Amino acid sequence: MDIVLTLVVNPSQGPSLEKAVVGLHEHVGRGKLEVATLSAERAVDLHFTANSVPEVKTGIANALEQTPEIDWCLQEKTPTRRKSMLIADMDSTMITVECVDELADFVGAKKQVSEITEAAMRGDLNFESALRERVALLKGMAVDDLEECYRDRVKIMPGAQTLVRTMVENGGFTALVSGGFTFFTERVSKQIGFQANRANILETEADKLTGTVVEPICGAAAKLEALDEYCTQLSIESNAVLAVGDGANDIPMIQAAGLGVAYHAKPKTAAAAHAAVRNGDLTTLLFYQGYREAEFSAS
């Protein structure tokens, strides 16, 4: 079986990349490892053969323990390595904040809401119940405050636009699927360049939030359903899908995708994913698909 191991590091830590490659030559066997540069001093593909990915994964992980600053992805080399679909979480994945936490700051409840959010993202609380509890604390908030929150607090995650636009330019379909709110996904998806988005709808009355969301809630099951629906509509196999997220509610879609990536994620999510990004930005996901930096779209 043809295997590819992708290593990605911050350019300022180029020596770490060289050190890791030398160590892997020793682990796999010199002469058995073919090196292909994706970005000078930043990313490489290492090609070799093995019986299976699981057979070599533990050994690779152990060999890379000395260079924790490196992000890596180990996978079988297949024709679907470059994915036909990207399905992504929004909060703390495509943007740098959790929108519900920032909204709660407007009503003096940020600490309380942030603690619930953190527990839900770790998987310690039922996501749907936790969302209802948090939204209830927003009751009476002016709708105009949502626009102020988006304008002043929502920042796009580094690499997001390059990731999405590169995949779109190469024929991919991109969807933003969030356990957050459509008010934000509609704006963020347009800003980044996603072709579709879905999330929860905040209910309003007289230009104020009622403290409720429209049922059913877009949680873990709904994210998986979205992946399946888009695959059916576009005749895309799940092994041609890249899914990325950071929370426990992203696990089902991450596991269902051909390449599921945990992005600066909670431990439970990282453990469930095929690969993780712990150090770099979202362009790391392009390297994981075998794109060279010269092929990246201008953001």
User: Using one digit for the tens of pLDDT, what is the confidence trace for 87-139?
Assistant: 999 999 999 999 999 999 999 999 999 999 999 999 999 999 999 999 999 99
Question: Distance between CA 195 and CA 198 in Å, rounded?
Answer: 11
Per-residue buried b or exposed e for 258-294, using 16+ beta carbons within 10 Å of the residue's own CB:
bbbbbbbbbebbbebbbbbbeebbbbbbbbbbbbeee
Position 46 pLDDT exceeds 60: yes
**Is-cis flag, bond preceding 54, omega within 30?**
no
Residue 69 has pLDDT above 90, yes or no: yes
**pLDDT tier for residue 30 given thresholds of 50, 70 and 90:** low
Band (pLDDT 50/70/90 cuts) for residue 178 is very high
Yes or no: say if 44 and 21 are a contact pair by the CB < 8 Å rule: yes
Phi-psi region of 178 (alpha: psi -120 to 50; beta: other; left: phi over 0): beta
Supply the pLDDT for residue 13: 80
pLDDT at 31: 61
Which pLDDT band, with edges at 50, 70 and 90, does 12 fall under?
confident
Cα dist from 200 to 69, 134, 271, whole Å? 36, 13, 27
Q: Which two tokens stand for residue 130?
A: 């936790």
Provide the pairing of β-strand 241-245 with 259-263. parallel
Q: Is the pTM of this model over 0.85?
A: yes
According to the model, what pLDDT value does residue 22 have?
A: 87
Whether domain 81-299 has CATH 3.40.50.1000: yes
Instruction: Provide CB contacts within 8 A for 64, sequence distance 6+.
Output: 7, 20, 23, 24, 70, 72
In the prediction, which pLDDT does 248 show? Answer: 97
CA distance 145 to 238: 39
Please give the mean pLDDT across all residues of the chain.
Answer: 95
Residue 28: the pLDDT is 77
Fold that domain 1-77 belongs to in CATH = Alpha-Beta Plaits (3.30.70)
Domain boundaries, the chain: 1-77, 81-299
Q: Catalytic site residues?
A: 89, 91
Closest CA to 263 of 252, 274, 237, 178: 274
